[in-house]
Structure 1
Amino acid sequence: MPSVDSLQVAFRPYLSGAETMVYQFNNVAHVTIAALLLALSFYASKRLVLHRRRQAFKRLHGAHDAPWLPTQNLVQRWIGLDLLWSNVRAFRNHNFLETSKQRIKETGLQTYQQTLAGSHTLLTIELDNLKAIQATNFKSFGLSEQRTNAHTLLGYSIFTTNGAAWAHSRELLRPQFVRAQVFNLARTFKPHVDELITALPRDRRSFNLEPFFFRLTMDTATEFLFGESTNSVATGTDGGFGEALTMAVDHTIRVARYGLLGKYLLPSRGSSAARDHVHRFVDNIVDRGLAKRAKERSDNPNVERRYCFLDALASETDDRLRIRSELLSVLMAGRSTTANLLTNVWFILSTRPDIWTKVQEEVATLGGTEPTIEQLKELKLAFDDTILPVGGGGDGRSPLFVAKGTTVIWSVYALHRRKDIFGDDADEFKPERWFDDAATGRKGLRGGWAYLPFNGGARVCLGQQFALTETAYTTIRLCQAFDRIEPRGPQREWRENIAKGTCLNLDGAQVSLHPRAV
């Protein structure tokens, strides 16, 4: 039997190798730990310097951090899963807007900070802050990462860019919305509203106005922007574009809604195919439009033509992707928002006979003639450390410090229901709150920074007059064509549906219309 000494001699070469490996491993471990400690020290040093600089900045301006959402403890301030699950439940129950408003009301604060799925945000409905973000301190803020990440659908366009790129897009868009073009009712709106009136059921059966309004706004937007219409009201189809756009936009918004975890929690499923369909649809319009314009210019080079956004873009760039991105951004906004507004208006008209009667009385003053533009008007993210005027400190009344990279959000729904501004009946649909009373001399409300359906300042919606004009003109023409309306939906109370990018009634506007006797 071999002795222990002989075994040690026999295995010494292997033991030596193992000892060397352990020694090398220890060296690597020591170097790795040293590198990590060095990196940690460097990071901590940078954070300390940044903290001291920000503290000095706060002292200089007398600013404070915003109070935290009271329901978030120290752990939830880091991860924010409580707020995520609360929002998910609210969306599923179609009461997210009301839940958000109640959350603000229960805090007793107009500004607070919160964490949603790992994303730290400031929420504010203070008028001075909204004015600063959108106007007086505009250069300190830009679109958040969640918004700019929409470039997979919208490309790099006016809705997804900041700085010089955004300014250039806006300057390209602005001429399309000048007064003369927006207010040419006969050319821009009349043919499509005529088609709508013809297409609507006249046998008093129940139907939903929502899809008709979406086709109408698709037709007017494409004609206005591209110089040709999809004519979906007349044909009853838009080639599947509307459904694909809704799916693609809905996915983009849901990903942004759930903060940093959005792209991991929400798989794309059919949204990629929908996005590709949308891109092909717009690409075909671009190709057809460019070819048509080139032929027209070749055949009649001296003929002056109506301004067309597609022409303007083509004269600035031959980048087909850039052209598609800008066109798709404006088409999305021009179609969905106005269609939703019309749907909400007509849901209200169907469920509020008092308002329907008032509108019909106003329309009757036109004597059956189509309205003119004059008659329409007569019918009743932070880039740098910065300071917002108010919202800091325990009581929320001190100047508010906003760290670079902080996402600042505001709830227009809650803002427009502030009872200290709009009165105790702020939750009610009450158009007369805006009207002057000649008999008493009482002045109606003037919204200012308390009323932001189109935002304000530098990023104010370029298409607001287009949207309001189309809504008013369409509503008046329909009221002239139909003298009675009945609600036919399962719900008489408005319920939110945010799935289509903006907000409309969950059941649309299900009605029965009675044609006016000729």
Structure 2
Amino acid sequence: MLEGFLGTGIFNSDGETWRLHRSMARPFFERDRVVDQSRFGRHTDRLKSLLNMLSDGDNSPFDIQDLFSRYTMDFITDFLFGLNSRTMIPPHLITKESEELMSAFDALRKAASTRIRIGSNWPLFELFFDRMKGPRQTVDAYIMPIVNEAIEKNRMIAQRDDDGTRTFLEYLVTVSNDPNLIRDTLVSFLLAGRDTSASLLTFMIYVLALYPDVYRQLAEEINGVVHEDRPCTFNDIKNMRYRESYVL
């Protein structure tokens, strides 16, 4: 059902294949790497700039879910590949490749949702047109050259010590040289890192708009911990007890 999107990735497999994907990915996601704030900072600064620009206008409404989807897409492509998909830049500067990647990924996600909703009879609704084929080709046209280049680069250089700055792709090519396996792993984590986070952020903003008292208390806690003279740290976030209760 979802093979056209996720291949045999961790969210679309079981048994030995699932264990293989899990064993490949788990060592990379150690605590120090996951809580590294440097990548968050770069993309959050861009998000803040866009929000300030939009709020300084004529107060016209805008689609914040689309903005969060772009934010999480830029971050997760940076985290996975070390490349910024650059979807959070002014419309006249966005590249055709970035827009096509966003559109194709959204099309794959919608096609997957439709198939899940229809159930086992979904092939009857796609007898003459595979909804995933075109978007998958677009996504693969972006990902596969990056994967193949990383595999070739890993073959040509001596073993590199992990100083905590390696991308997920740079790690994956040290444990496998199968481009399709690596592609399926990356797309699975791209889905997990982009859509779930964007949905969470959107819902959090919606709830804050409904409950101004919660917004005020949350803002008071954040302003009491975070200061402009230094970036927010993971320990800062851990110390925000009200924020933790709100998110959970």
2:105 to 224, 228, 245: 245
SS at match of 2:182: helix
Residues 2 and 12 of structure 2 are in contact (CA less than 8 Å); yes or no, is this contact kept in structure 1? yes
Separation (CA, whole Å) in 1 of partners of 2:41 and 2:20: 32
- Quickly say closer, same or farther: Cα 1:354–1:303, change in 2 above 3 A: same
Residues 248 and 271 of structure 1 are in contact (CA less than 8 Å); yes or no, is this contact kept in structure 2? yes
2:9 is aligned to: 157
Higher helix share: 2
What amino acid is the match of 2:209?
Answer: S
The residue correspondences of 1:8-407 to structure 2 (distance < 5 A) are 149-185=1-37, 187-200=38-51, 201-204=54-57, 205-206=59-60, 207-234=62-89, 236=91, 237=94, 238-265=98-125, 268=129, 270-290=131-151, 297=157, 304-305=162-163, 306-366=165-225, 368-369=227-228, 370-380=231-241
Residues 349 and 355 of structure 1 are in contact (CA less than 8 Å); yes or no, is this contact kept in structure 2? yes
Larger radius of gyration: 1
TM-score (norm 1): 0.42
The count of corresponding residues between Structure 1 and Structure 2 is: 234
Deviation of 1:288 after TM superposition, in Å, equals 4.2
SS at match of 1:228: coil
Separation (CA, whole Å) in 2 of partners of 1:294 and 1:178: 25
SS at match of 2:218: helix
- Quickly say closer, same or farther: Cα 1:235–1:331, change in 2 above 3 A: farther
- Quickly say closer, same or farther: Cα 1:320–1:202, change in 2 above 3 A: same
- Quickly say closer, same or farther: Cα 1:302–1:353, change in 2 above 3 A: closer
Residues 111 and 131 of structure 2 are in contact (CA less than 8 Å); yes or no, is this contact kept in structure 1? no
Separation (CA, whole Å) in 1 of partners of 2:31 and 2:82: 18
Structure 1 portions without partners, runs of 5+: 1-148, 381-430, 436-467, 473-518
Separation (CA, whole Å) in 2 of partners of 1:260 and 1:303: 47
What amino acid is the match of 1:354?
Answer: D
Separation (CA, whole Å) in 1 of partners of 2:133 and 2:174: 31
What amino acid is the match of 1:374?
Answer: N
SS at match of 2:11: coil
Deviation of 1:302 after TM superposition, in Å, equals 5.9
TM-score (norm 2): 0.82
1:485 is aligned to: none
Deviation of 1:263 after TM superposition, in Å, equals 2.0
Residues 481-512 of structure 1: per-residue CA shift (max 9 Å, x gap): xxxxxxxxxxxxxxxxxxxxxxxxxxxxxxxx
Residue identity (%): 26
Deviation of 1:256 after TM superposition, in Å, equals 2.4
- Quickly say closer, same or farther: Cα 1:211–1:288, change in 2 above 3 A: farther
Structure 2 portions without partners, runs of 5+: none
What is the RMSD computed on CA atoms of the aligned residues?
2.7
Residues 196 and 234 of structure 1 are in contact (CA less than 8 Å); yes or no, is this contact kept in structure 2? no
Residues 226 and 289 of structure 1 are in contact (CA less than 8 Å); yes or no, is this contact kept in structure 2? no
Deviation of 1:178 after TM superposition, in Å, equals 0.9
Deviation of 1:278 after TM superposition, in Å, equals 1.6
Residues 248 and 275 of structure 1 are in contact (CA less than 8 Å); yes or no, is this contact kept in structure 2? yes
Separation (CA, whole Å) in 2 of partners of 1:239 and 1:224: 19
Using CA pairs under 8 Å that are at least 6 residues apart, name the structure with larger relative contact order, 1 or 2.
2
Higher strand share: 1
What amino acid is the match of 1:348?
Answer: V
What amino acid is the match of 2:77?
Answer: T
Deviation of 1:270 after TM superposition, in Å, equals 4.6
